[in-house]
Amino acid sequence: MDRLLGLETEYGLYVEGVSVGELTAEARRLVQTIASSAVWDYRGESPLQDLRGFRAPRLTTHPKDEEIERQLVKAPEPRSPREDHVDRLLKNGARFYHDHGHPEYSTPECRSLWDLLAHDRAGERIVWAAACRYYEQTGRSVAVYKNNSDYHGMSYGCHENYLVRRDLPFERLMAGLLPFLVTRILYAGAGKVGRETGPPESSNVYQLAQRAEFFDELASVDTLHRRPLINTRDEPHADPRRWRRLHVICGDALLSEYAAALKVGTTALVLGLLEHGYEPPIELKDPITTIKSLACNAGGGGGWVVETQEGKTIPAVDVQRAYLRAAEERFKGRDLETDWVLREWARTLDDLEGNPEKLSDRLDWAAKRALFEAFLEAEGLEWETAPLELLQSLELEYHSLDPRRGLFWALQTEGAMKRILKEKEIERARQLPPPDTRAFVRGLCLRRFEVSAASWGHISVKQGRRTVELDLRGCVDGAIDGSGLPPDASLQDVVEWVRHLSEEARSRR
């Protein structure tokens, strides 16, 4: 995909007998079931720094979160400072930690779309394995969901990360992305029963996407409240003079490998178009209203339309087709992954336009809706009058990570969902980092040396009484060949190799 890619997924957590205010402590305990001696190095993180060139005064928090925090302050759980926030650096190059009451898994940096899918799927298995250990240690029944909503007004995210050239002006980046991201939910939504921000009479509506109704701003650094369609946090974890890290927070967590590949692959191609000077096909009159309107029309047809700034109404599929045609013209034939994305993007848009029911073997929202329709027919129920709680409990089981209960896993086992990955690729990703990104260096150091701290851009390795610092921020703009280091490489070998990679990157400027 010609750039570094990554996914961060917050998982829904339910623990029997535990209140919402206690979930943070239990999420921490769940992550702690995985042993790690290294700590996360927060020095390179600056969540208030804005891509537009200023520093935000604070992050906006959700009022419900503030209420929960006030409850916790009254009865704090005794713990050491290091246990306050638990991070686990994994030997496959990933990061496993907790974000308030959610276990969260960040894939290692990937350059291959298939590698990213494998590491995202490996993350599901790692999180579920931690949940099983938590149950063994505590005796408390636990459920973990790869979804984005608790049905009580709180949403949690699946964030995408893309390395983008710094010389692409932010105004062009935002203008080019908005029409694309708003209409992307036609194939990148996970589907959802009910609304949490709409009128009560629309409670049984079926939405294309779970996150769409939780966005209120066009652009800001916030992620927890007053969420923006374009997140402007400026943490490149690379040379800030050359790179931005685009942090996309408006997408859904997906279980379908096919849908996840389309979501990330099409976005990466659109970013490539914008870096080459492509102008967006339209300007939306009201992107926030539009994404919510599209999400609430799962029937398609004449309902999937958008209004332009000039007051014209056009099909949302046509907006996607404009980006697709431009991507085909510039990138077709570049590599196998790119050609797969272009081919399946076109196929999906054709089906969305002609027969959305055909997508039930590929897209999460379509597969889930087909399940609901079969269930309602079998039970003799009507969509409009079926108990909302019943439908939501069925939906939760679709997203469960438990391979014995999750409805998605049943569909996949039956061959009803299109696969991209092989089992050996997922299992390899559980153990090993991608061989062609700086994550390879991080994984190697964790296996071979005593790592005291690490982040996406730095690694601190103990050597006797001194600490050796590895700066990986320059190792991002070219494929790393993991075969360049033998399995028994010394620390000095690694230091020299990283220095060589950084010098090569500087010479390509």
Residue 73 has pLDDT above 50, yes or no: no
Q: Determine, yes or no, domain membership for 66.
A: yes
Rg (CA), the chain: 22
- When comparing pLDDT for 306 and 83, which is higher? 306
Q: Is residue 363 part of a domain?
A: yes
Q: Are residues 286 and 334 in the same domain?
A: yes
* DSSP for residue 167: T
The structure tokens listed for 156 are: 């949690």
Closest-CA residue to 5 (of 81, 172, 90, 118) = 118
Tokens of 265: 């692959």
Residue 166 pLDDT > 80, yes or no?
Answer: yes
> Looking at the structure, do residues 403 and 442 belong to the same domain, yes or no?
no
Structure confidence at residue 81 as a pLDDT band (50, 70, 90): very low
Do both 408 and 500 map to the same domain? Answer: no
| Res 481: pLDDT | 82
Residue 125 tokens read as 């298995």
Given this model, what pLDDT does residue 74 score? Answer: 45
Select from 73, 104, 149 the least CA-distant residue to 399: 149
Q: Domain end: 365, 394, 424, which one? A: 424
CA distances to 185, 201, 207, 367, 411 from 196, rounded to whole Å, are 18, 12, 11, 22, 28
Written as six digits, the tokens of 364 are: 């999460």
Q: Could you say which of 424, 451, 471 is where a domain stops?
A: 424
DSSP assignment string, 374-423 = HHHHHHT--TTTS-HHHHHHHHHHHHB--TTT-HHHHHHHTT-S-----H
pLDDT at 67: 63
Do 321 and 455 lie in a common domain?
A: no
Last residue of a domain, one of 395, 424, 453: 424
Based on the structure, what is the number of domains in the chain?
Answer: 2
By the 8 A CB rule, do 434 and 422 touch?
no
Give a yes or no: residue 205 inside a domain. yes
Is 430 among the domain residues?
Answer: no
What is the spatial distance between Cα 300 and Cα 229, in angstroms, rounded to a whole number? 22
Catalytic residue, candidates 65, 84, 99, 115: 99
Nearest-angstrom CA–CA distance, 11 and 376:
28
CA distances to 179, 292, 299 from 360, rounded to whole Å, are 25, 22, 13
pLDDT above 90 coverage of the chain, percent: 77
Look up the domain containing 442 and give its range. 438-507
141 and 203 co-located in one domain: yes
How high is the mean pLDDT of the chain? 91
pLDDT tier, 318 (very low <50, low <70, confident <90, very high otherwise):
very high
Render pLDDT for 392-408 as a digit per residue (tens, 0 to 9): 999 999 999 999 999 99
Contacts of 435 (CB under 8 A, 6+ apart): 480, 481, 482, 483
Residue 99, both tokens: 């974000």
Is the confidence at residue 20, as pLDDT, over 90? no
Residue 63 sits in a domain of what CATH number? 3.30.590
Asked if residue 429 has pLDDT above 90, the reply is yes
Q: What is the pLDDT of residues 220-256, one digit of tens each?
A: 998 887 899 999 999 999 999 999 999 999 999 999 9
State the Cα–Cα distance between residues 152 and 148, nearest whole angstrom.
11
- Measured in whole angstroms, the distance separating CA 232 from the mean position of its chain's CA atoms is 16
Task: Render pLDDT for 375-385 as a digit per residue (tens, 0 to 9).
Answer: 999 999 998 89
Distances (CA, A) of 260 to 46, 351, 354, 381, 423: 28, 17, 22, 32, 17
Q: In this structure, is residue 432 part of a structural domain?
A: no
Decide if 39 is inside a domain: yes
Q: Is the pLDDT of residue 341 over 90?
A: yes
CA–CA–CA angle 284, 160, 358 (5° rounding): 70
Residue 62 has pLDDT above 80, yes or no: no
Q: What's the CA gap between 363 and 377, in Å, rounded?
A: 21
For residue range 93-131, what is the model confidence (pLDDT) as tens digits? 999 999 989 999 999 999 999 999 999 999 999 999 999
Residues 295 and 361 in one domain: yes
Minimal CA–CA distance to 111: which of 470, 437, 498?
A: 437
Residue 71: pLDDT band (50, 70, 90) is: low
Give Cβ neighbours of residue 294 (< 8 Å, ≥ 6 apart): 182, 183, 185, 186, 208, 212, 304, 306, 316
Domain annotation covers residue 353: yes
Give the predicted TM-score (pTM) of the model.
0.95
**Mean pLDDT (whole number) for 302-327:** 95
Say whether pLDDT at 340 is over 50. yes
Q: Which two tokens stand for residue 93?
A: 């190059």
Residues 390 and 458 in one domain: no
pLDDT band at 455 (very low <50, low <70, confident <90, very high): very high
How far apart, in whole angstroms, are the C-alpha atoms of residue 409 and residue 416?
Answer: 10
Catalytic status, residue 318: no
What DSSP assignment string belongs to 261-320? Answer: HHHHHHHHHHHHHHHTTPPPS--BS-HHHHHHHHHT-TT-GGG-EEEBTTS-EEEHHHHH
Same domain, 115 and 237: yes
Q: What average pLDDT does this structure show over 48-76?
A: 70
Residues 419 and 463 occupy one common structural domain: no
Residues 363 and 499 in one domain: no
pLDDT at residue 294 tops 70 = yes
Q: What stretch of H or E contains 8? A: strand 5-10
Q: Are residues 186 and 135 in the same domain?
A: yes
For residue 199, pLDDT over 80 is answered with no
What angle do the packed helices 388-399 and 364-379 form, to 10 degrees? 130
Residues 472 and 448 in one domain: yes
In the Cβ-directed half-sphere of 218, how many Cα atoms lie within 13 Å? 13
Residue 420's contacts (CB-CB under 8 Å, 6 or more residues apart) are 114, 117, 257, 258, 261
Task: Please indicate, yes or no, if residue 154 is contained in any of the structural domains.
Answer: yes
Give the sign of the dihedral formed by CA 428, CA 434, CA 439, CA 441.
Answer: positive
- Alpha-carbon separation of residue 127 from 96, 254, 285 (angstroms): 8, 15, 41
